Chains A and B, each alone.
Chain A
Amino acid sequence: MSTLSRDEVARVAALARIDLTPAETDRLAGELDVIVESVARVAEVATPDVPATSHPLPLSNVFRTDEPVAPLDRDEVLAQAPAAQDGKFLVPQILGEE
Chain B
Amino acid sequence: MTTTSVDLVDYDDAVARFDPVIGIEVHVELGTRTKMFDGAEQSFGEEPNTQITPVSLGLPGALPAVNGTAVEYAIRIGLALNCEIAQSCRFARKNYFYPDVPKNFQTSQYDEPIAHDGYVDVELEDGTTFRVEIERAHMEEDAGKNTHVGGATGRIHGAEYSLVDYNRAGVPLVEIVTRPITGAGERAPEVARAYVQTLRDLFRALGVSEARMERGNVRADVNVSLRATPASPLGTRTETKNVNSFRSVERAVRYEIGRQAAVLDAGGAIVQETRHWHEDTGITTAGRVKSDAEDYRYFPEPDLVPVVPDRAWVEEIRAALPELPQARRRRLQGEWGYADAEMRDVVNAGAVELIEATVVAGASPAAARKWWMGELARTAKQQEVELADLPITPAQIGALQQLVDAGRINDKLARQVLEGVLAGEGDPEQVVVARGLEVVSDDGPLLEAIDAALAAQPDIAEKIRSGNLGPVGAIIGAVMKATRGQADAGRVRELVLERVQA
Could you list which residues of chain A lie within 8 angstroms of chain B, going by C-beta atoms?
Answer: 11, 14-15, 17, 54-55, 57, 59-69, 71-72, 74, 77-78, 85-94, 96-98
Complex: chain A residue closest to B96, CB-CB: A15
CB distance from A64 to the nearest CB of B (A): 4
A interface: dominant SS: loop
Complex: chain B residue closest to A92, CB-CB: B161
Contact yes or no, A15 B292, CB < 8 A: yes
| A-B interface contact total, Cβ < 8 Å | 136
The verdict on B67 contacting chain A, using a C-beta distance below 8 Å, is yes
How far is B302's CA from A57's CA once the two chains are assembled, in angstroms?
A: 10
Instruction: List 16 A–B pairs whose Cβ atoms lie within 8 Å, in order of A's numbering.
Output: A62-B305, A63-B65, A63-B67, A64-B65, A65-B68, A74-B47, A78-B49, A86-B163, A87-B48, A87-B49, A88-B147, A88-B164, A89-B164, A93-B159, A96-B293, A98-B157
Could you list which residues of chain B lie within 8 angstroms of chain A, going by C-beta atoms?
Answer: 1, 32-34, 38-41, 47-54, 57, 65-71, 88, 90, 95, 97-99, 146-148, 150, 155-157, 159-166, 287-288, 292-293, 295, 297, 300, 302, 304-310
- Which B residues are in CB contact (< 8 Å) with A93? 150, 159-162
Contact yes or no, B146 A64, CB < 8 A: no
Q: Known contacts A54-B90, A72-B52, A94-B156; decide if A88 and B32 are in contact (CB<8 Å).
A: no
Q: In this complex, which of B39, B71, B300 has the most chain A Cβ atoms within 10 angstroms of its Cβ? A: B39
Complex: chain B residue closest to A85, CB-CB: B163
Contact yes or no, B307 A54, CB < 8 A: no
Task: List the 10 shortest-distance A-B pairs measured between CB atoms, nearest first.
Answer: A63-B68, A69-B39, A54-B300, A88-B163, A66-B69, A68-B41, A98-B157, A64-B65, A60-B308, A89-B164
Q: Known contacts A15-B297, A93-B162; decide if A68 and B39 are in contact (CB<8 Å).
A: yes
Contact yes or no, B164 A91, CB < 8 A: yes
How far is B302's CA from A61's CA once the two chains are assembled, in angstroms?
A: 14
CB distance from A16 to the nearest CB of B (A): 8
Contact yes or no, A60 B306, CB < 8 A: yes
How far is B295's CA from A25's CA once the two chains are assembled, in angstroms?
A: 20
Contact yes or no, A90 B161, CB < 8 A: yes
- Which A residues are in CB contact (< 8 Å) with B40? 68-69, 71
- Which B residues are in CB contact (< 8 Å) with A69? 34, 38-40, 53
How far is B306's CA from A90's CA once the two chains are assembled, in angstroms?
A: 36
How far is B161's CA from A66's CA once the two chains are assembled, in angstroms?
A: 35
How far is B35's CA from A69's CA once the two chains are assembled, in angstroms?
A: 10
- Identify 6 new A-B residue pairs, CB closer than 8 A, beyond the known A55-B306, A63-B66: A55-B302, A68-B40, A72-B53, A85-B163, A90-B164, A97-B157
Contact yes or no, A91 B305, CB < 8 A: no
CB distance from A36 to the nearest CB of B (A): 15
How far is B422's CA from A17's CA once the two chains are assembled, in angstroms?
A: 57
Which of A59, A85, A94 lies in contact with B148, CB distance below 8 A?
A: A94
